[in-house]
Structure 1
Amino acid sequence: MNDRSVRVLITGAGSGLGAALARAWEVRGATVLRTDRTPGEGIHPLDITSDADWAAVRDHVAQTWGGLDVLVNNAGIAGGGRLDVAGIDEWQRLVDINLLGAVRGTATFTPVFKQQGSGRIVNVASLAGLVHPAGMAGYNATKAAVVALTETTGHELAAHGVSAHVVCPSYFRTNLMAGVEGRDAALQSVMSKLVEDSPISADDIAAAVLDAIDVGTEVIIPDDAARGAVQLKQTDRASYDAVMRAQARKLDKIAEQA
């Protein structure tokens, strides 16, 4: 696919990884429609939980471009909490945004891609979709569901010339934690520190994602920390479980000291 003719729609592109992906594609000469729930210069409004908003952006794409080459379901939120701390309302919010946002985007543009006989769907999940730390059940579950959604999408649409890719990075520096909501203050403290201390930037992840898409990688694990965690789980389950359970004990201790 010639990047200079590529039409890309990115959700959650007002900041963070969405903005970094937009910059990376634009540097290659692609035409990018940046969408976000938060209004801003150069941002097309899109609340990914709204069917009406998705229909409107589909109509905008049809009228402006006549089609779409790449849909990036990037928008999402951080969250979660230990099983006896997080409420069902927190679970529901994670499901509505992290999972059903990607479902709505995929369902909206699947007919467009089928009619064209081409297209790419890129869903941004997380390492949490493959590796499941304690205290993050709601987040882990929604991101794992995005991994499953992407695999199913790839199987279902392959005959129509459409590929599906899922992105599973570990912690990287972004503003994701700025909007976090939830009752588990201990988890939020741990996650915030992991984000702040990460040596990886959103631009690093974006560059790795585009390189992986170029070669057709379907499950994109774009950084060494993520690849190491997945490898440990696959090759030494006992050690992986020990690490995860030690993290669970540490989280409980932090909560006790708060």
Structure 2
Amino acid sequence: MSTQRIFITGGASGLGRSIALRFARAGWRVCIGDVNDARGAETVAALTVLTSHAHYLRCDVTREEDLRSASEWLASNWGGVDVVVNNAGVAQAGAIEDVELSDWEWILDINLLGVVRGCKVFTPMFKRQGHGHFVNVASMAGLLDVPKMSSYNASKAAVVSLSETLQNELADDHIAVSVVCPSFFKTNLAESMRTTDPGLRKALDKLLDRSPVTADDIADQIFQAVEKRGFYVLPHREGRQAWLMKRLLPRELYTSFMQKRTRKLRGHAEAPRT
């Protein structure tokens, strides 16, 4: 069997970089797309230590033409691609009455439509090949109801719904789909986060820093999901438990639990700085 090929959006840093390195260690050809050329060059340098085929493409997921250029490069140079990871994403936090509609449009254009564009552009290639695998990076925020993050939650819930739909729609074309729903973990997502509440940013930073699950751990679970053609990738035990509660408990018990979490988060955000 020829060496397998993977393309990862947002692949120059954070979870995307960890995914790239994990697949490179397994001998895959790895192509990363990103908007940060300097980080792209750094990541390719790290990848070339692990695989003889590593490449960086400038790719803005808000531009369908960038993704089309990536698909054309992969077709011309590697004869296609086996796995596409729609990973690029941003965060936004704030109370519903405070967040501008322009911020809603910004996050939906990247987190949701960026994934839609990736799936739309690469599905014809997968169908021509007779196989392929989409890995769409969502979040536990797409399955749960994290307070004061309505735009982020909605964008990620839509990615989950899109992935569930495509799992059914593309099955007869031998195209697999996985959806990744991590909880908080240490990454550079906070760099691009927009928020109307500085205290909330501080609280979220603490949650990110305290997570025992790393980007490398999640990348390893993604690798396993690709091998097994698994659908849900839920790396955090606490997140899996909360999702189980949401599905099985009466709604009033679950909402009571989430409202307590909301008050706790609000308390962290409003705590005086020392």
1:67 aligned to which of 80, 86, 89: 80
1:248 aligned to which of 255, 258, 262: 262
1:19 aligned to which of 13, 17, 20: 17
Aligned length: 256
- What is the percentage of aligned positions where both structures have the same residue? 39
Once the 2 structures are TM-superposed, how far is the Cα of residue 189 of structure 1 from its aligned partner? 2.0
Matches within 5 A, 1:42-57: 42=44, 43-57=56-70
Over aligned residue pairs, what C-alpha RMSD do you find? Answer: 1.6
Unmatched 5+ stretches in structure 1: none
SS in 2 for 1:5: coil
Distance 1:118 1:143 in 2: 26
1:221 aligned to which of 213, 222, 234: 234
Matches within 5 A, 1:169-208: 169-208=182-221
2:32 aligned to which of 24, 34, 48: 34
Residue aligning to 2:145 = 132
Aligned residue identity for 1:14? A
Distance 1:97 1:159 in 2: 29
Once the 2 structures are TM-superposed, how far is the Cα of residue 184 of structure 1 from its aligned partner? 2.5
SS in 2 for 1:196: helix
Compared with structure 1, are the counterparts of its residues 104 and 168 closer, same or farther at alpha carbon in structure 2 (3 Å cutoff)?
A: same
Aligned residue identity for 2:150? A
Q: What do the CA deviations read for 1:4-33 (whole angstroms, capped 9, x no partner)?
A: 621100000111100000111111111110
Q: What do the CA deviations read for 1:165-208 (whole angstroms, capped 9, x no partner)?
A: 10001111111112212212232222111101111110011111
Q: Which moved more, 1:213-222 or 1:202-211?
A: 213-222
Once the 2 structures are TM-superposed, how far is the Cα of residue 87 of structure 1 from its aligned partner? 1.2
Q: What do the CA deviations read for 1:52-83 (whole angstroms, capped 9, x no partner)?
A: 21121111111111111000000001113211
Distance 1:14 1:204 in 2: 17
Question: Contact 1:86–1:184 at 8 Å: present in 2 too?
Answer: no
Question: Contact 1:209–1:222 at 8 Å: present in 2 too?
Answer: no
Question: Contact 1:13–1:34 at 8 Å: present in 2 too?
Answer: yes
Matches within 5 A, 1:69-108: 69-108=82-121
Question: Contact 2:181–2:235 at 8 Å: present in 1 too?
Answer: yes
Once the 2 structures are TM-superposed, how far is the Cα of residue 239 of structure 1 from its aligned partner? 4.0
Distance 1:74 1:107 in 2: 15
Once the 2 structures are TM-superposed, how far is the Cα of residue 248 of structure 1 from its aligned partner? 2.1
Unmatched 5+ stretches in structure 2: 45-55
Question: Contact 1:80–1:90 at 8 Å: present in 2 too?
Answer: no
Once the 2 structures are TM-superposed, how far is the Cα of residue 120 of structure 1 from its aligned partner? 0.2
TM-score (norm 2): 0.88
1:233 aligned to which of 246, 255, 270: 246
Aligned residue identity for 2:261? Q
Residue aligning to 2:53 = none
Q: Which moved more, 1:180-189 or 1:153-162?
A: 180-189
